[in-house]
Amino acid sequence: MAFLSDTLTRVKPSPTIAVTSKAAELKAAGKNVIGLGAGEPDFDTPQNIKDAAKAAIDAGKTKYTAVDGIPELKTAICAKLKRDNGLDYVPAQVSVGTGGKQILYNALMATLNPGDEVIIPAPYWVSYPDMVLLAGGEPVIAEASSQTAYKLTPDQLEAAITPKTKWLIFNSPSNPTGAGYTWDELKALTDVLLRHPHVWVMSDDMYEHLVYDDFKFCTPAQVEPQLYDRTLTVNGVSKAYAMTGWRIGYAAGPQALIKAMGKVQSQSTSNPCSISQWAAVEALNGPQDYIAENNKTFQRRRDLVVSMLNEAPGITCPVPEGAFYVYPTIAGCIGKTSTGGAKITDDEAFATALLEETGVAVVFGAAFGMSPAFRVSYATSDENLTEACTRIQAFCKGLS
Ligand SMILES: Cc1ncc(COP(=O)(O)O)c(C=O)c1O
């Protein structure tokens, strides 16, 4: 009898671990390593949010709370969904968890039966396929093309749907590409879903507030109100409010689903941290002006990175609408040899040689389901970005 569960054997070890541990190893050996792998803003959590957390501690808000969130936070989430997205929800339709990650996992655990399919557009956030596998479902990868700026087309969505499809996971702006769907692009996808009433949509809106060049964010339940009864709108405070460590995410959707997600959470982690919940109330209800300030910084860095990467031979880097990632393709580098003698057979070989020879750590495209490419997180200083991109340019110039 195997000791480890069969379910766990379906899950691949994280492909990003190899690069991350190699970067740590080189750093420990004294090499000047610049990490462009971080999935979190480099800004500090705003002071008003920290103060709310301190006040919560002093007021003794340090006990168990309702499993899926305090009423004050659920009310703040309903107000946010109305204010930002024009969506009407009541607190009983809201679930709060330990990060968006737990919310997505709860939703999949609460709904998937063996054989149920979940459509995941690629490039995708690394956790989606493995979460589906852990919950006993089957990930169905629908590859978006770099020709359509990594956005899924209606035909690609239509082709991926089968009678077994339970969910489409939709993520805009996207991790890893930063691609954001316009209202019309999203409407074309929701039109497809209207023709398939058995398919639900899980919209991961985590990067909603990180958008540039006047891009207007939109979400499926807003674009197509007829999908309201089969949409789970997922969001959180990690990215917009620089609160990754506080671990608060949430979702709004049909009450029966929200109740089922609460059941999963009640027998695993129970309530998310009480202090973090009070901090999240302040994040959502308090001043929002620093988001625009941070976005100015992110937009400047995006423009810097895109223009410098496009000067590197063999690299083509599209300009994304949001998040803090770019996803350059490296078709022109494959098949070449680096100055250090490494054969660039695929994007993993590219990322490994780049790290070993220049000390720049990026995540290779295969980890996100689309090659040959790599992901750069520009959530680091302008100085680091300029130095890293200069090294990438030199690396690419040295390929022969
Ligand atoms: C697309 C996407 N969704 C969800 C999450 C989860 O965020 P958290 O669990 O910090 O709320 C992340 C974090 O990297 C993400 O990139």
Domains in the chain, please, with CATH? 6-44+290-397 (3.90.1150.10), 63-285 (3.40.640.10)
CA 96 / ligand 1 centre spacing (Å): 14
pLDDT (mean) for 351-371: 95
pLDDT in tens, 56-75: 999 999 999 999 999 999 99
Classified as helix, coil or strand, 34 is strand
pLDDT at 17 over 90: no
Q: Which of 227, 310, 349 is nearest to 362 (CA)?
A: 349
Cα gap 46→92, rounded to integer Å: 29
Q: What is the pTM (predicted TM-score) of this model?
A: 0.97
Would you tell me the crossing angle of helices 382-397 and 347-358 to the nearest 10 degrees? 110
Give the residue-averaged pLDDT of 19-25: 81
Contact 178, 146 (CB under 8 A): no
The pLDDT confidence band at residue 15, using thresholds 50, 70 and 90, is low
Q: What is the pLDDT of residues 115-168, one digit of tens each?
A: 999 999 999 999 999 999 999 999 999 999 988 999 999 999 999 999 999 999
What pLDDT is stored for residue 7 in this prediction?
Answer: 87
Structure tokens at 390: 């200069």
pLDDT tens for 286-320 read 999 999 999 999 999 999 999 999 999 999 999 99
Banded pLDDT at 22 (limits 50, 70, 90): confident
Q: Would you say residue 282 has pLDDT above 80? A: yes
Distance CA 118, CA 133 (A): 10
Compute, in angstroms, the gap from residue 339 CA to the centroid of ligand 1. Answer: 37
Residue 254 scores a pLDDT above 70: yes
- pLDDT of residue 13 exceeding 80: no
Residue 136 has, within 13 A of its CA and on its CB side, a CA count of 10
pLDDT value at 20 more than 80: no
What would you measure as the largest C-alpha separation in the chain, in angstroms? 65
Pocket test for ligand 1, best of 45, 124, 127, 363 (most atoms within 8 A of CB): 127
CB-CB contact of 22 with 352 (8 Å): yes
Nearest to 204 by CA among 288, 258, 127, 282: 127
What per-residue confidence (pLDDT) applies to 156? 98
Indicate which atom in ligand 1 lies nearest the CA of residue 204: 3
Give φ, ψ of 117 to 5 degrees: -105, 145
Residue 308 phi/psi, 5-degree rounding, is: -70, -40
**pLDDT, mean over the chain:** 96
Q: Residue 39 — pLDDT band, cuts 50, 70, 90?
A: confident
How confident is the model at residue 318, as a pLDDT? 96
Q: How close is the Cα of 101 to the center of ligand 1, in Å?
A: 6
| Ligand 1 geometric centre to CA of 379 (Å) | 15
Q: Angle 107-112-115 (CA atoms, 0-180°, nearest 5)?
A: 155
100: CA distance to ligand 1 center in Å? Answer: 6
Residue 394's alpha-carbon distances to 35, 149, 311, 397, in angstroms, are: 17, 26, 10, 5
| Ligand 1 pocket mutation, candidates 16, 120, 175, criterion most atoms within 8 A of CB | 175
Per-residue pLDDT for 38 more than 90? Answer: no
- Per-residue model confidence as pLDDT tens digits over 235-245: 999 999 999 99
**pLDDT confidence tier of residue 257, bands split at 50, 70 and 90:** very high
Closest ligand 1 atom to the C-alpha of 237? Answer: 11
| The pLDDT of residue 16 | 65
Is residue 327 left, alpha or beta, with left meaning phi > 0 and alpha meaning psi from -120 to 50? beta
pLDDT of residue 266: 98
What spacing in Å lies between the alpha carbon of 103 and ligand 1's midpoint? 10
**CA–CA separation, 42 and 39 (whole Å):** 9
- Alpha-carbon distance of 399 to 369, in angstroms, equals 25
Which of 124, 206, 324, 368 should be mutated for ligand 1, with most atoms under 8 A from CB? 206
Q: The tokens 């999963």 sit on which residue?
A: 264
pLDDT band (50, 70, 90) for residue 172: very high
Which residues have C-beta atoms less than 6 Å from ligand 1? 39, 99-101, 125, 171, 175, 204, 206, 236, 238, 244, 249
CA 303 – CA 300 distance, rounded (Å):
5
Q: How many angstroms separate the alpha carbon of residue 131 from the centre of ligand 1? A: 13
